[in-house]
Structure 1
Amino acid sequence: MSVLLATSGDLPQGEPGATVLDAVLRERGLDAAWARWDDPAVDWDAAEVVAVRSTWDYVTRHREFLAWAASLDQSRLLNGADVFEWNHDKRYLTELGDLPVVPTLLADDRAALAEGVRRFGTGVVKPRVGAGGAGLLVVTDPDDPRLGRPVRSQPDYPEVDGPWVVQPLVESIRTDGEASVHVLDGRVGQRFDKRPGGGDVRVNEEFGGSVRPVETGDVADLVERAYDAMAARFGRPIDYLRVDLLRWDGEWVVSELELIEPGLYLDVSPANAAPFADLLMARLAGTSAPHV
């Protein structure tokens, strides 16, 4: 098997829109298959390249997931287990150096959460290990009884607990939404604009949000800076990443960097399928990502 695409038990056939990527891979003659990351029957060493894709259950099993990633041949694993270790905890938002970022405080207990809410006035509380908007709270009262307790976002969601980050509510999420831009093999790819639905601030479709492809526009420079910053941090170019951006005080700032399993939004647009296939072909050919 040339390429194994790691997914989860909830998505055995791959991420939403996976058939688009599958078709492009077949057109290029690539021998590729989707496999559950936690399936003990999978021979990961048989693959020339392993790409983590829709392993979205890792947030409730992150220690197990990180151990699995570290057990693989790192020369074959896109991005690498050291990148996953750093990126899985939102602590990284406090370690981005000169990159503009949404103000972020770390909180390990209820007192720190209350102080964060007090400082920001309206605080957005998120678990430091989490994804998809699960466990997010918007809090205006430092004495809110929900602070410091496990949160269940929906009846069929698992409870999400701390530690947490606290950020100010970025009001532009309601007007400008969030911009997400992929960088694949050093090339800026498709931008997607995401908007929350109803009275929520979460742009995730599970909570009523919407996604649409748009022109890259005025965010390209910041996206390239984020790519360069990650290459500098890890001492090598990153195979792929997604930069999520919000408008804060009239300027674009980083809200998240996704370096583990950013969805390609193939169910919204096929634009990222060919560039991702090109990335896989380049790694199979032994060509590394472009240097900064």
Structure 2
Amino acid sequence: MPAEPAEPAETRVLLVTCSTFPDGEPGHEHLDAALTERGISSRWACWDDPYVDWSAAELVVVRSTWDYQDRLADFLGWAGSVGASLLHGADVFRWNTDKSYLVELAAHGGVPVVPSESVDNPVDLRAAIARHQPAVVKPRVGAGGHGMVVVYDAGTWLPVDPGPWIVQPLVGSVMTEGEQSVFVFGGRPVSQVRKVAGKDDYRVHEHFGGTSYDTPLDPEAALLAARTVAVTTEILGSELVYARIDLMRHDGELMVSEVEITEPGLYLDHVPGNAALFADALAARLRPEKL
């Protein structure tokens, strides 16, 4: 029987990914280099690799675990087993991987949120669609736009996904102005990406034909993103070392569409400068005497 692979010595940061992206998220080489430049040893590891000794690292940082929606119980179980070295921890992931957090965020006040309803059964789903139609329906647990549909007639449409669901109005500006993503590290907005849906589509994700652009940090978007992280921190009672806040303009007002804490893509292939800023945020969490 082959021996289990040993954890490389002096690995201070384990960057967590999935088997679809074993080498890390797109543009990972920029982050790898930024950590090396700061004297921080790191490597990428799949969250479900049974041979990884997670306790060997000072920090375990979830990055591109983009299969969690299909195995959420396993993923949260893994997160709960890692311990205090994991940013941001299983409780935060449990909250953030269920899009019903948008309803809680809106009820808490302090930030405008795209109107959202959480529904658990087809009867309530049909009623919610009728209130918002044309409505966007998406699984409460999901990533990358998978399972998202636009429904124009609540009376004739039948769901394919078994639910539960989040129902929102179709925000038309996503097909013109696009969606803004603001990266917030250590509570400070640092950069921004503009994502525009593909032709005749409403999804901004590149695998659905969307296009992403590096864009200057907009003061209005930055202020709303910082406020959103502050309110989310208050709700969770937990510091957020990094987050991505997605924003859309609805009825003329910039609103929060997603709060990405668990595994927000850093768009390193579009904004390579995020690598240095993210590495600085991680360095601030490590024992200074070892840097």
Check if 1:32 corresponds to 2:33: no
> 8 Å contact 1:230–1:237 — kept in the other structure?
no
Query: What SS is found at the alignment partner of 1:253?
Result: strand
| Mapping 1:1-292, distance limit 5 Å | 1-74=11-84, 76-96=85-105, 97-98=108-109, 99-147=111-159, 149-150=160-161, 161-217=162-218, 218-285=220-287
Give the CA RMSD over aligned residues: 1.3
- Cα distance, 1:212 vs structure 2: 0.5
Paired amino acid for 2:44: W
Query: What SS is found at the alignment partner of 1:119?
Result: helix
Taking the aligned partners of 2:126 and 2:214, their CA distance within structure 1 comes to 38
Q: Compared with structure 1, are the counterparts of its residues 145 and 249 closer, same or farther at alpha carbon in structure 2 (3 Å cutoff)?
A: closer
Q: Which runs of 4+ in 1 moved over 4 A?
A: none
Taking the aligned partners of 1:194 and 1:286, their CA distance within structure 2 comes to 37
Taking the aligned partners of 2:156 and 2:33, their CA distance within structure 1 comes to 50
Taking the aligned partners of 1:52 and 1:211, their CA distance within structure 2 comes to 22
Query: What SS is found at the alignment partner of 1:13?
Result: coil
Output the TM-score relative to the length of structure 1. 0.92
- Cα distance, 1:124 vs structure 2: 0.3
- Cα distance, 1:286 vs structure 2: 6.4
Q: What residue ranges of structure 1 are gaps of 5+ in the alignment? A: 151-160, 288-292
Moved more, 17-26 or 129-138: 17-26
Query: What SS is found at the alignment partner of 1:138?
Result: strand
Query: What SS is found at the alignment partner of 2:113?
Result: coil
Taking the aligned partners of 1:175 and 1:194, their CA distance within structure 2 comes to 10
Paired amino acid for 2:204: V
Which deviations, in whole Å up to 9, do the C-alpha atoms of 1:6-40 show, x marking residues without a partner? Answer: 00000000000001111111111111000000000
Taking the aligned partners of 2:288 and 2:47, their CA distance within structure 1 comes to 24
- Cα distance, 1:143 vs structure 2: 2.4
Taking the aligned partners of 1:125 and 1:30, their CA distance within structure 2 comes to 43
Residue in structure 2 matched with residue 154 of structure 1 by the alignment: none
Moved more, 53-62 or 23-32: 23-32
Taking the aligned partners of 2:153 and 2:236, their CA distance within structure 1 comes to 39
Query: What SS is found at the alignment partner of 2:285?
Result: helix
Taking the aligned partners of 2:158 and 2:30, their CA distance within structure 1 comes to 42
- Cα distance, 1:129 vs structure 2: 0.1
Moved more, 101-110 or 123-132: 101-110
Q: What residue ranges of structure 2 are gaps of 5+ in the alignment? A: 1-10
Residue in structure 1 matched with residue 6 of structure 2 by the alignment: none
- Cα distance, 1:285 vs structure 2: 2.4
Which deviations, in whole Å up to 9, do the C-alpha atoms of 1:138-176 show, x marking residues without a partner? Answer: 0011123432x23xxxxxxxxxx4110110001111111
Taking the aligned partners of 2:282 and 2:270, their CA distance within structure 1 comes to 21
Which deviations, in whole Å up to 9, do the C-alpha atoms of 1:114-135 show, x marking residues without a partner? Answer: 1111111211000000010000
